[in-house]
């Protein structure tokens, strides 16, 4: 039960920030939701939230600083000797149980239009496997190959955590040891309408949204999983999204490269298809690793080529990165910046009606994992073949859809069967 005094304090706090409208449905809420919304109000740091609204509203992000291209190693062009050197270094780490996989599965999958967690989505067309199952197979295969224990950490959101856990239980953890699959929820922030006002979710409490894949480091830390990794002797964590069917989750070359180059991270890249492809690319900014987003890159840079005729800024970031545990610990202590994204957010209006907007109506605030790169002194970049390691599933049809991901997956399996994949 909410005490009157608690309600009054919440109202006072809201009035200070011009947000008292958010209690307009309070009297219609049941006790549980009354308690929830009062707790939400107690916990929101309104000064920071309003700052965020004002700062991110100011301008479009412009590229500043001294930007140069970044060195990379092309996996395909390694000599036999180089390949074996990196491979053997990495293999040893994996065999010694120092390697873990982390899958970020806290997104909403709005473009794909799935209501259930995206990882439960089946790619279909004869492949009746969910994304989680496909990823679990990649891990299990590596476990057998290296005869190693490879724990799997899965970042979920408040919205999809319980459905994700239930899905794993129903599928008997896809044969992974139960104690080696760990779920943790990512952080959340309130959404704001275009006037900086809080909105209600469909149940009448404050609408929150997950804080982006860059929230992974802080959430790992908050949930005690950095400690868990250290206890297990984990040195290397491969972090990627749930929606890349071909993600090379266990890669000795990526580890070997980082160790040989003395870096604390390896980012995998694929060659940008054309100067105007809408992807972020690896580069260096003021001497540190950085990803320039497609909205930031100038036409001149996008078209610049080296002596061999390759794009100078052509190493696309595909959200498949390996981090050393020390880097993860450090990044978790640094606050990454927030970016705003316009979203169509379902909400409850002051009359209790649920509104499903046709156009974006609210801002979601997100951190991006690649903003963490700037805090590293250096980073290794490993160029991999697109057709071997990148089959994203973003849209319900067209590009990067179940159809394209499935075709790439089937083609990969065929080549693998013929022994054409290293
Ligand atoms: P996307 O940015 O493509 O988002 O996430 P999404 O949620 O999958 O899809 P849309 O934009 O709503 O259509 C890339 C990866 O990062 C994870 C996603 O689950 C996906 O694996 N992610 C994204 C999170 O874990 N948390 C987030 O807050 C955002």
Q: What percent of the chain has pLDDT over 90?
A: 91
User: In terms of Cα–Cα distance, which of 257, 260, 247, 252 is closest to 103?
Assistant: 247
pTM of the complete model: 0.94
> Is 256 a pocket residue for ligand 1 (Cβ < 6 Å)?
no
Predicted confidence (pLDDT) at residue 335 exceeds the cutoff of 90 = no
Provide the pLDDT for residue 60.
57
Distance from C-alpha of 50 to C-alpha of 319, rounded to nearest angstrom: 30
Which pLDDT does position 314 carry in this prediction? 98
pLDDT higher than 60, residue 363: yes
Q: What is the rounded CA–CA span in Å between residue 182 and residue 152?
A: 6
* 174/133 Cα distance (integer angstroms): 7
Spacing, Cα 187 to ligand 1 middle (Å): 13
Helices of type H across 147-205: 161-170
Task: Using alpha carbons, list the distances in angstroms from residue 203 to 173, 190, 342.
Answer: 32, 15, 22
Average confidence (pLDDT) over 250-278? 97
Compute the average pLDDT of residues 56-79. Answer: 85
The CA 241 to ligand 1 mean position distance, Å, reads: 7
For tokens 């950095």, name the residue.
226
Looking at residue 114, its pLDDT comes to: 84
Residue 146 Rama label (left phi>0; alpha psi -120 to 50; beta): alpha
pLDDT at 61: 61
Which domains are seen in the chain, by residue range?
1-43 (no CATH), 83-264+318-417 (3.90.550.10)
Distance from the Cα of residue 271 to its chain's centroid: 21
How far apart, in whole angstroms, are the C-alpha atoms of residue 415 and residue 22?
56
Task: Evaluate: CB of 214 within 6 angstroms of ligand 1.
Answer: no
Any ligand 1 atom below 6 A from CB of 107: yes
Percent of the residues in the chain that have a pLDDT greater than 70, as a whole number: 99
Residue 62 has pLDDT above 70, yes or no: no
Across residues 179-193, what is the average pLDDT? 97
pLDDT category, 80, cuts 50, 70, 90? Answer: very high
- pLDDT value at residue 115: 86
> What is the structure's pLDDT at 110?
82
pLDDT at 390: 98
Would you state the pLDDT for residue 59? 56
pLDDT band at 140 (very low <50, low <70, confident <90, very high): very high
Query: What per-residue confidence (pLDDT) applies to 55?
Result: 83
- E strands, 201-293, are 208-210, 236-241, 265-271, 281-285, 288-292
Mutational test site, ligand 1, from 220, 241, 343, 402, max ligand atoms within 8 Å of CB: 241
The Å distance, Cα 213 to ligand 1 centre, comes to 7
Tens-digit pLDDT profile for residues 96-124: 999 999 999 998 888 898 889 999 999 88
Q: How many residues does the chain have?
A: 422
Which residue among 107, 360, 366, 393 is best mutated to probe the pocket of ligand 1, counting the most ligand atoms within 8 A of its Cβ? 107
């Amino acid at each position: 039960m909410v005490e009157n005094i608690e309600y009054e304090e919440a109202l006072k706090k809201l009035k200070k920030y011009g947000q008292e409208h958010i209690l307009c449905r309070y009297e219609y809420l049941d006790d549980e939701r009354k308690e929830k919304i009062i707790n939400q109000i107690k916990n929101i740091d309104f000064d920071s939230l309003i700052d965020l609204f004002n700062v991110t509203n100011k301008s479009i992000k412009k590229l500043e600083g001294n930007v140069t291209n970044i060195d990379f190693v092309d996996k395909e062009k390694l000599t036999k000797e180089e390949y074996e050197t990196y491979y053997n270094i990495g293999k040893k780490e994996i065999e010694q149980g120092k390697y873990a996989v982390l899958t970020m599965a806290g997104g909403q999958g709005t473009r794909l239009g799935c209501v259930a967690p995206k990882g439960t989505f089946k790619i279909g067309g004869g492949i009746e496997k969910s994304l989680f199952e496909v990823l679990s197979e990649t891990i299990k295969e590596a476990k057998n190959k290296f005869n190693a224990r490879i724990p799997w950490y899965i970042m979920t959101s408040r919205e999809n955590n319980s459905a994700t856990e239930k899905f794993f239980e129903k599928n008997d953890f896809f044969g992974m040891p139960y104690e080696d699959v760990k779920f943790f929820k990512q952080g959340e922030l309130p959404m704001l309408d275009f006037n900086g006002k809080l909105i209600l979710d469909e149940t009448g409490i404050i609408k929150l949204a997950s804080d982006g894949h860059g929230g992974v480091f802080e959430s790992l830390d908050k949930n005690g999983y950095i400690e868990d990794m250290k206890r297990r002797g984990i040195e290397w964590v491969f972090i990627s999204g749930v929606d890349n069917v071909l993600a090379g989750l266990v890669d000795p070359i990526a580890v070997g490269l980082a160790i040989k180059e003395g870096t604390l991270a390896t980012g995998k890249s694929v060659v940008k298809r054309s100067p105007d492809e809408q992807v972020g690319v690896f580069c260096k900014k003021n001497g540190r690793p950085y990803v320039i987003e497609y909205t930031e890159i100038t036409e001149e840079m996008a078209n610049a080529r080296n002596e061999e005729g390759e794009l100078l800024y052509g190493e696309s970031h595909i959200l498949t990165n390996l981090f050393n545990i020390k880097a993860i610990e450090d990044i978790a202590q640094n606050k990454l910046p927030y970016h705003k994204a316009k979203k169509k957010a379902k909400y409850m209006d002051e009359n209790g009606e649920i509104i499903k907007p046709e156009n974006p109506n609210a801002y979601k605030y997100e951190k991006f994992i690649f903003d963490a790169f700037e805090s590293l002194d250096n980073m290794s970049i490993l160029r991999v073949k697109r057709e071997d390691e990148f089959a994203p599933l973003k849209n319900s049809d067209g590009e990067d859809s179940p159809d394209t991901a499935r075709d790439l997956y089937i083609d990969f399996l065929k080549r693998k069967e013929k022994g054409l994949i290293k």
